Structure 1
Amino acid sequence: MEKRGIRMNLSGITAKAHTQYALATREVENSMRRIAEGRPDLNSGDKARVGRMNTTLSMLRLANSTVKQSQDLLETAESGVSSVNDVLTRLREIAVQSSNEDLTADTRAGLIDEFNALVKELDYVAKNTAYDGVELLDGTFGDRDVIIEGTGETETINIELSDLTLDGLKLTAHTVTLESGDSRIGQDNGQGGTYSEGDTVSVSATSIDSANDADDALARIDAAIATVQAEASDVNSKIERFNFTISHLGNMITMNEESLATILDFDEAAEMASLADFQIRQQTAIAMMAQAQQLSQTVMQLLQG
């Protein structure tokens, strides 16, 4: 009876030590996993919150990316519009100078050369202002909707870009109605007669070849400048709107990221301290099992002796 009682007592100690070892080992493994992942274990409620917040952040980031791309497109267009406006401003200055009938032939020739070169440059800028392979100012862009899908109501912003080429600004072939004082009045009209006041004359392109041509060019350039400035105003207003939208989305992203970080906050120092404690318990359990085993063998030897 005494032998069996001793064996049962030692077996109980061994079983208890083994249980403590298993518990400590599990905690060590969990602690090491948390340290490796860099995040705490979450309860079901926190897991649900993290899932919702990640979904919200994904939608906000996508919306922010969409708006930023549209803003970049408009800023590219704005640069092109500004360049076209600069060219038109210089063309107007030249047209004003050329409207003077007292210009020498050499002076007018120099102005004509500069004017024609700038006209080509204007058309080049309008036809080569592009974003991500999309032409913006050559008349092919038209109007497009930017759809912003945030966490609430979907917002749609329309972007429309005008044709700022020579054709779009009506600076190419056109007709002119002759007014009193026009130098072409009385000249051969190519149809067996001469031009009279009120006649319509076809002009191949805006030019400053004469004072009258310069006056006509000036009127057409003024109209083109008005068109370009209206375009610049519209583009700038859209850019400002996108700036506010980007700022708002950025604030929402930051707040959601901070809230998510609070839930997933991981105190590595505290976890390392817990790991050390669990490892001590694990080693203690191992020592208890070894001592129980050794004691059992010693008792059995004494009883047998």
Structure 2
Amino acid sequence: MSVINTNVKSIVAQNALTVNNRAMSKTMEQLSTGKRINSAADDAAGLAISNKMTSQIKGLNQAVRNANDGISMLQTAEGAMVEVTNMMQRMRELAVQSANDTNTQDERDYMDLEFQQLKEETNRITKNTQWNGMNILDGSTNGGEFKFQVGANANQTIDHTIDQLSFGDVVSTATAAIVTTTAAGAQSSVLTIGSAGTVAVPDWKAGDVITLKLGTDQLQYTIQEDDIVGTAATDATTIAQAVKSAFTDAKDAGKFEGISVSGDAAALTFASTAVGTGPFATSITTSSGSLASIDGLDVTSRGTSNAAITGLDEALKNINSARAEIGSKINRLTYAADNLANVSQNTSASRSQVLDTDYAQATTELARTQIISQAATAMLAQANQAPQSVLSLLR
């Protein structure tokens, strides 16, 4: 072919060189980064698959750390329980010793000194044991319920509840209200409650019903004909004393804790016997927690020592149960962590097949493209030299 303006041979060589250089550049990038897929253009589906696998791998590796953190937290809790158990064993030993009548009262008092100190330390440990700034034995954190995230996806958890061990007092406040209702059509005045808790008995009639409420406790007294015996003042006193007697009977039956009543005339005074606000507000104190059975124990007598033995047996049973649950959960978390590591390892191997560079293949491809590049460059030079032969026609 004897044309000069269009050097077809040169164009062919250039195009071949461009395509080869692109392939060589891609191979060099794969060898430099170690990744077969460096952009979505390299393998769109493979990129999506590898990114999903990466999310799983990172989540699995973090879940392994989460499981190990959970194990550490439970070990901290169980370590504190070990010391509590040791102290309660000593307390039980003191209770058994004090239950023996070979001891004098002074000796029992000395035993009780150690007993009370151990009891206080038991409660202090259960209230103050912390992990990462959280109390873990008194039920104040998440209600004692802990969820350990041991999976790469949402809500893949192992749950454990550490029941409240501390036997701190729980204070609840109840409010009393005194009201009257009218029965049998009798006329009745509205009952007036004074700011000091003094109730002035009004002109009650036979058949009137007096209702006293404190929390869930309730007392009703119906005024009898026998209560109406004389003058208004005399009747008021008689009715007041009848109400007081009914209230006292109710207290003896276990109702109205924290409230007392006094007064010998036509006025009754209801007062709080505990800390509270207002004449009818009372703080009722109760013990709670798995170790509540040791609250209030002492070894100052044979009777209280025997009661202490029983209470300590109950507390030891509860703490042994809690420790058994923690131990089994630690073992479960250990197996979970091992499984997570195994899944992460296999997922990483799968991702490697999709994402990573096969160096044996890539280096072979690099050698091929380099040789072709050199050959294409030489052919381009030859194609550019070919038009020179036309000059011989001009001589």
TM-score by structure 1 length? 0.70
Which amino acid in 2 is paired with 1:246? A
2:351 to 240, 260, 263: 260
Structure 1 residues 210 and 149: CA distance shift in structure 2, 3 A: closer
How far does the alpha carbon of each residue in 1:261-293 deviate from its partner, in whole angstroms, 9 at most, with x for none? 222342224312321321222222222223433
Pairwise CA RMSD: 3.6
1:25 to 21, 39, 44: 21
When you count strand as a share of all residues, which structure comes out higher?
2
Percent of pairs with identical residues: 26
1:30-69 superposed matches below 5 A: 30-41=26-37, 43-57=43-57, 60-61=60-61, 64=64, 66-69=66-69
Which one has more relative contact order, counting CA pairs under 8 Å at least 6 apart? Answer: 1
Structure 1 residues 12 and 139: CA distance shift in structure 2, 3 A: closer
Deviating more after overlay: 251-260 vs 124-133: 251-260
What is the CA-CA distance between 1:90 and the residue it aligns to? 1.9
Cα distance in 1 for partners of 2:304, 2:89 equals 17
1:56-135 superposed matches below 5 A: 56-57=56-57, 60-61=60-61, 64=64, 66-103=66-103, 111-135=111-135
1:7 to 4, 9, 13: 4
Partner residue in 2 for 1:217: 308
Partner residue in 2 for 1:178: none
Contact map agreement 1:59 1:149 (CA 8 A) in 2: no
How far does the alpha carbon of each residue in 1:78-129 deviate from its partner, in whole angstroms, 9 at most, with x for none? 2222221122112222322233333478866764554344333322321222
Q: Secondary structure at the match of 1:75?
A: helix
Which amino acid in 2 is paired with 1:19? N
What is the CA-CA distance between 1:230 and the residue it aligns to? 1.8
Cα distance in 2 for partners of 1:32, 1:204 equals 76
Cα distance in 2 for partners of 1:147, 1:162 equals 17
Partner residue in 2 for 1:162: 163
Which amino acid in 1 is paired with 2:381? A
Structure 1 residues 106 and 277: CA distance shift in structure 2, 3 A: farther
Cα distance in 1 for partners of 2:341, 2:168 equals 41
Structure 1 residues 167 and 220: CA distance shift in structure 2, 3 A: farther
Contact map agreement 2:127 2:135 (CA 8 A) in 1: yes
- Structure 1: gaps of 5 or more residues: 169-202
Structure 1 residues 98 and 236: CA distance shift in structure 2, 3 A: same
Contact map agreement 1:59 1:151 (CA 8 A) in 2: yes
Contact map agreement 2:56 2:152 (CA 8 A) in 1: yes
Cα distance in 1 for partners of 2:69, 2:375 equals 61
Count the aligned residue pairs. 266
Work out which of the two has the higher radius of gyration on C-alpha atoms and give 1 or 2: 2
What is the CA-CA distance between 1:33 and the residue it aligns to? 1.2
Cα distance in 1 for partners of 2:377, 2:25 equals 16
1:292 to 370, 383, 387: 383
Contact map agreement 2:105 2:300 (CA 8 A) in 1: no
Partner residue in 2 for 1:184: none
What is the CA-CA distance between 1:55 and the residue it aligns to? 4.6
Q: Secondary structure at the match of 1:5?
A: coil
How far does the alpha carbon of each residue in 1:28-86 deviate from its partner, in whole angstroms, 9 at most, with x for none? 21111111221224644434433443454455456555544444332322222222112
Which amino acid in 2 is paired with 1:221? L
Contact map agreement 1:122 1:166 (CA 8 A) in 2: no
What is the CA-CA distance between 1:151 and the residue it aligns to? 8.0
Cα distance in 2 for partners of 1:227, 1:145 equals 19
What is the CA-CA distance between 1:143 and the residue it aligns to? 4.0
What is the CA-CA distance between 1:7 and the residue it aligns to? 3.2
Contact map agreement 2:151 2:157 (CA 8 A) in 1: no
Which amino acid in 1 is paired with 2:36? P
Contact map agreement 2:298 2:304 (CA 8 A) in 1: yes
Structure 1 residues 208 and 149: CA distance shift in structure 2, 3 A: closer
Which amino acid in 2 is paired with 1:138? D
When you count helix as a share of all residues, which structure comes out higher?
1
Contact map agreement 1:143 1:158 (CA 8 A) in 2: no
Cα distance in 1 for partners of 2:341, 2:380 equals 59
Contact map agreement 1:145 1:156 (CA 8 A) in 2: no
Contact map agreement 1:96 1:214 (CA 8 A) in 2: yes
